[in-house]
């Protein structure tokens, strides 16, 4: 693994040397303080803090200068549009897009440098400095990290430059040969047909520090799309309903045909308001008819009527049609029948890219995604107001931004696939904010975990702390008897089908003591490979010496020893392959540690080697042969 000091050196932009955090110098200061006598720690601690402040001041000044230069280079361009040709506009947009990427990278590297060095400081000196420093970095107006949020406005300017350069003219998407099914709902009140399209979705994660990098890449191919007159990304808040039995969660996780999800969604607000509006949405999953896609339907009400609606009563509809009245009745009946209530809330800022006159391809990027645990409270009991700093057990910040590609009768464009091949984004099929938010706060109540949690233990390992040992599902969807099927998985089917089966790779039945599922650590797979290679090395060494003895020996003992060493080496190669595959399967099934022990291999190897050399000594007393080795007599 590359050390962070080397990482920051490798990623330093040419010409910006000397303006990054001097991570190695700060680290050496810590080692000197830790090795100094205790009486000198206070003085060393003072020098370290002053050095950190000096580094922060340097980064703040440099970032502020570069950011102002970027902003000043963008503003005059729109004042004199006649000065540039289309090629000039596009070339300038490409340059400014690269500037945004470079500044985002600079801010992230320095943020990580401060975080890592202060984490090391707190651990080595047992003096808390990290939390207060990082909070100040997030909220201080003079902080480079706080100012880096202004880069988001530069993305809008870059998109405008591309538009001036005609980049978005004559844009087209590749249609499918056969259109997908569409569900039509007659809305006679509006004198026409309103369509609720069945879309195909592809979902991806991207690191939050690569957000602007991705946005300017998308802006080079699709225009930014705004749902309102403001250019600011609206805050989207969704309150999801479920009950203590997690019935909505279980059906959505299994992707049962007809499984529904009900949520109340507010746009552009951090809390409900007396004069605001709210959308009540129902998503229905169609596994059989539409091949695993969902249909979204919704109606609009006043936020002051939300409490009545959540109690199964009818609220006054806004801009209502005949289909909205029917939908409200069905939603009210489902709320009453299942006794569902506010369960979790998701909040995020959404950036959308789409051709204004063609919604067949829409790409949305949700950033600053947080999950909140809901419960009934006074006033706005359906929607928790977090005006204060929330505690960790009631709010969680998701470690990635979420990109979603929505397709209707079109294919994924080739330029987007290049982003995937560059590892800028990672596809996570069927990822659900609702499912993840429920697991985050109510993991002891859910019977199964989504598969992406098990595949990312470094990010979501804390979710394995459930006493009920929930079992991960697969992207294809777990069966209703998943737990029983997975327990029997290793005994059923052929060897290779068990070894490479996706279902078997996500078995969660095996547990360690106390019913806790074993954490899946990638290092364990590497340790298994190292053990396999070490055994092979010993086997090859034995075979090599054995062949050498057979070729040059002229005494029976040496010939016999050579022959036995070759045979033992071959057996050892086969045995190491068997053990490697066995342990690999145990790791994928998250079995307990005792099953990884090899109680026979080392003992049998020792016995065979002792027997070989003992026989060699016995035969050594025989007279030498004249025809070469014992195999030729």
DSSP 583-611: HHHHHHTT--GGGG--SSHHHHHHHHHHH
CA end-to-end span of the chain, whole Å? Answer: 56
In angstroms, rounded to a whole number, what is the distance separating the alpha carbons of residues 278 and 81? 41
Write down the mean pLDDT value for the chain. Answer: 77
Instruction: Find which of 53-62, 271-280, 514-523, 583-592 is predicted with most confidence, using mean pLDDT.
Output: 53-62
Q: What is the pLDDT of residue 352?
A: 92
How many residues in total does the chain contain?
A: 633
DSSP code at position 299: E
Mean pLDDT score, 372-390: 59
User: What pLDDT score was predicted for residue 376?
Assistant: 52
Half-sphere exposure of 251 (CA within 13 A, CB side): 18
Strand-pair category, 341-355 with 192-197: unpaired
Give φ, ψ of 99 to 5 degrees.
Answer: -60, -40
Provide the pLDDT for residue 385.
57
Residue 230 has pLDDT above 60, yes or no: no
**Per-residue pLDDT at 189 exceeds 60:** no
- Residue 504, both tokens: 């078997």
pLDDT at 175: 55
pLDDT of 351 over the 80 cut: yes
Residues facing 275 on adjacent strands: none
Cα–Cα distance, 457 to 462 (Å, whole number): 8
Which 3 state secondary structure label does DSSP give 483?
helix
Structure confidence at residue 168 as a pLDDT band (50, 70, 90) = confident
Whole-angstrom Cα distance, residue 410 to residue 174?
5
Question: Is residue 289 very low, low, confident or very high in pLDDT (cuts 50, 70, 90)?
Answer: low
The answer, yes or no, to whether residue 261 has pLDDT greater than 50, is yes
CA distance 380 to 611: 81
pLDDT digits (tens, 9 = 90+) for 432-472: 999 999 998 888 778 788 889 888 877 887 776 543 444 45
pLDDT the model gives residue 95: 92
Beta strand ranges found along 356-466 (DSSP E): 358-373, 395-397, 400-407, 426-427, 448-449
State residue 47's pLDDT score.
93
Query: Mean pLDDT, to the nearest integer, of 170-174?
Result: 66
pLDDT surpassing 50 at residue 246: yes
Task: Choose among 10, 359, 423: nearest CA to 214.
Answer: 423
- pLDDT of the residue at 290: 52
Give percent above pLDDT 70 in the chain. Answer: 74
Find the mean pLDDT for residues 546-550.
Answer: 81
pLDDT beyond 60 at 546: yes
The predicted-structure confidence for 82-113, as pLDDT tens digits, reads as follows 567 888 888 888 999 999 999 999 999 999 99
> Which has the minimum average pLDDT: 362-376, 465-479, 488-502, 521-535?
488-502
């Amino acid at each position: 693994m590359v050390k962070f000091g080397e990482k920051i050196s490798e990623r330093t932009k040419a010409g910006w040397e000397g303006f990054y955090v001097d991570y190695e110098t700060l680290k050496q200061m810590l080692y000197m303080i830790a090795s100094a006598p205790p009486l000198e720690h206070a003085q060393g601690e003072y020098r370290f803090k002053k050095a950190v402040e000096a580094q922060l001041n340097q980064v703040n000044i440099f970032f502020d200068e570069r950011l102002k230069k970027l902003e000043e280079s963008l503003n005059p361009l729109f004042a004199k549009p006649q000065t540039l040709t289309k090629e000039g506009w596009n070339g300038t947009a490409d340059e400014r897009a690269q500037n945004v990427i470079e500044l985002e990278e600079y801010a992230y590297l320095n943020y990580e440098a401060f975080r890592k060095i202060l984490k090391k400081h707190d651990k080595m000196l047992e003096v808390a400095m990290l939390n207060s420093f990082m909070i100040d970095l997030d909220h201080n107006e003079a902080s480079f990290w706080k100012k880096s949020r202004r880069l988001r406005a530069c993305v809008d300017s870059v998109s405008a430059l591309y538009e001036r350069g005609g980049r978005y003219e004559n844009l087209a998407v590749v249609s499918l040969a056969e259109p997908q099914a569409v569900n039509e709902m007659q809305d006679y009140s509006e004198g026409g047909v309103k369509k609720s399209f069945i879309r195909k979705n592809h979902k991806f994660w991207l690191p939050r520090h690569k957000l602007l990098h991705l946005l300017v890449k998308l802006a080079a191919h699709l225009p930014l799309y705004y749902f309102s007159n403001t250019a600011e990304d609206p805050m989207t808040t969704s309150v999801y309903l479920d009950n203590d039995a997690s019935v909505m969660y279980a059906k959505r996780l299994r992707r049962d045909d007809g499984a529904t999800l009900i949520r109340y969604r507010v746009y552009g607000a951090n809390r409900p308001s007396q004069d605001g509006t709210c959308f009540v949405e129902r998503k229905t999953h169609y596994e059989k008819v539409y091949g695993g896609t969902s249909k979204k339907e919704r109606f609009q009400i006043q936020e002051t009527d939300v409490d009545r609606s959540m109690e199964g009563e009818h609220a006054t509809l806004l801009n209502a049609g005949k289909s909205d009245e029917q939908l409200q009745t069905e939603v009210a009946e489902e709320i009453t029948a299942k006794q569902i209530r506010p369960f979790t809330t998701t909040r995020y800022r959404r950036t959308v890219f789409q051709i204004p006159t063609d919604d067949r391809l829409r790409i949305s990027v949700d950033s600053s995604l947080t999950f909140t645990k809901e419960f009934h409270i006074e006033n706005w009991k359906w929607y928790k107001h977090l005006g204060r700093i929330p505690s960790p057990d009631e709010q969680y910040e998701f470690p990635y931004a979420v990109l979603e590609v929505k397709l209707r009768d079109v294919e994924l464009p080739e330029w987007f696939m290049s982003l995937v091949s560059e590892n800028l984004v990672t596809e996570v099929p069927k990822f659900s904010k609702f499912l993840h938010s429920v697991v985050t706060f109510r993991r002891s109540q859910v019977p199964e975990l989504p598969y992406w949690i098990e595949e990312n233990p470094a990010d979501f390992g804390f979710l394995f702390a459930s006493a009920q040992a929930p079992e991960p599902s697969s992207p294809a969807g777990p069966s209703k008897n998943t737990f029983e099927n997975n327990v029997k998985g290793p005994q059923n089917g052929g060897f290779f089908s068990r070894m490479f089966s996706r279902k078997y790779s996500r078995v969660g039945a095996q547990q360690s003591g106390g019913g806790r599922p074993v954490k899946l650590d990638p290092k364990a797979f590497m340790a298994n490979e190292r053990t396999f290679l070490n055994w092979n090395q010993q086997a090859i060494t034995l075979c090599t010496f054995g062949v050498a003895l057979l070729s040059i020996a002229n005494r029976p003992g040496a010939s016999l020893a050579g022959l036995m060493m070759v045979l033992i080496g071959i057996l050892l190669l086969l045995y190491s392959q068997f053990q490697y595959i066995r342990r690999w399967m145990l790791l994928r099934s998250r079995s307990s540690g005792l099953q990884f022990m090899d109680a026979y291999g080392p003992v049998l190897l020792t016995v065979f080697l002792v027997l070989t050399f003992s026989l060699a000594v016995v035969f050594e007393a025989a007279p030498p042969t004249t025809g070469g080795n014992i195999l030729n007599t």
